[in-house]
Amino acid sequence: MSFFKCLTLTTKDKEKQNAVVMGRKTWFSIPEKHRPLAGRINIVLSRELKELPGAHHLVPSFQEVVQLLKEPSLVKKIEKIFVIGGSSLYKEAIDSSYCSKIYLTRIDHDFQCDAFFPELDTNKYLLIRDAEVLQEEQEENGIKYRYEVYKRHAQL
């Protein structure tokens, strides 16, 4: 969580913020007192909801997120855009040409899960060494994990 917070909050230009784009269920999985995620422009997708108190923008499709983020008033305020889940939104983002990098935490443990990150096409995304992330294996409460960064092939 601290890595997620640091990555999504940090901007080179202190006049700007990053945007976080998420599905409706991910929004509601954030404890109410932490919504919207502070210091970031929170964009939530829902086909059903017509209003969502706390969210900065409520948008009905991925294409409309792209249109929204092209608006000059937002372009001048936003440095980076992070898609923060869930499953279908991750898939739509990594299948689109707008996704340039994937920050993935690979956890060396089996858990019972009901939401999954989509299959990663390694022909499209290359594992890179990124100075922004710790390279060595991490461990928390006896569970080992590693940060990986994938970059989209330039020609794809």
Among 5, 6, 10, 29, binds ligand NAP (CB under 6 A): 29
Residue 88 interacts with ligand NAP (CB under 6 A): yes or no: yes
CB of 30: closest distance to ligand NAP in angstroms? 8
CB-based contact 133:147 (threshold 8 Å): yes
Q: Does 40 bind ligand NAP (CB under 6 A)?
A: no
Helix (H, G, I), strand (E, B) or coil at 17: strand
Closer residue to ligand NAP (CB): 48 or 136? 48
Residue 89 is a binding residue for ligand NAP (CB under 6 A): yes
Residue ranges with strand state E in the chain: 17-23, 40-45, 57-59, 78-83, 101-107, 125-128, 138-140, 143-152
Cα dihedral sign for 32, 140, 5, 56? negative
Check residue 18 for interaction with ligand NAP (CB under 6 A).
no
- 54 counts as binding ligand NAP under rule CB under 6 A: no
Q: Is 119 in the site for ligand NAP (CB under 6 A)?
A: no
d(CA 120, CA 35): 29
Q: Which of 43, 55, 83, 84 binds ligand NAP (CB under 6 A)?
A: 84
